[in-house]
Amino acid sequence: MTVTEPKLSHLAPGGEAAMVDVADKATTTRVAEARGRIVMEPQTLALAVSGNAKKGDVFAAARIAGVMAAKKTHELIPLCHSIALSNVSIDLAPDPDLPGVRVAARAKTVGRTGVEMEALTAVSVACLTLYDMLKAVDRGMRIEGVELVEKTGGKSGDWRRSAAD
């Protein structure tokens, strides 16, 4: 039995970085979900939840920043395609057990390439925005666990992170 290594799609035959040509791929509905979290001191979480942070409503700012980031992913990640997003949603859930905020993003398009990077970028920037809005009271916050949860559509089919993860 011959085992072949997986081929990286963003490398040209000579090894240099190259954008993938998606012109001949089928147009399908594609959805990706990602998640992450920002861990903070309990009093920082209480301040965020109260709505009394010095910079204003940290949850509203993070939600808007996440949506904007998804729309600009192709400007941030060099080989990403510019895609027409049909929807981006950001869910922010305060979790006193962390303590911190769990962040989830869902991105959707009808197109020739997936939206995994858009969902991951949305989560990352939403977490970064929470950090920025709260750093005056807690510079020790940590952004953790940014990961793809699920993707559907496209030639490679559907994928879902196992429940054990």
Residues classed as catalytic: 132
Residue 75: partners with Cβ closer than 8 Å, 6 or more residues away = none
Q: Are 85 and 71 in contact (CB under 8 A)?
A: yes
Rounded to 10 degrees, the C-alpha dihedral 64/128/141/145 comes to 100
CA dist., res. 97 & res. 82, Å (int): 38
The first and second tokens of residue 75, run together, are 């400007």
Rounded Cα distance between 98 and 55, Å, is: 23
| Contact criterion met (CB below 8 Å) for 112 and 27 | yes
Region of 124 please: left (phi>0), alpha (psi -120 to 50) or beta.
Answer: alpha
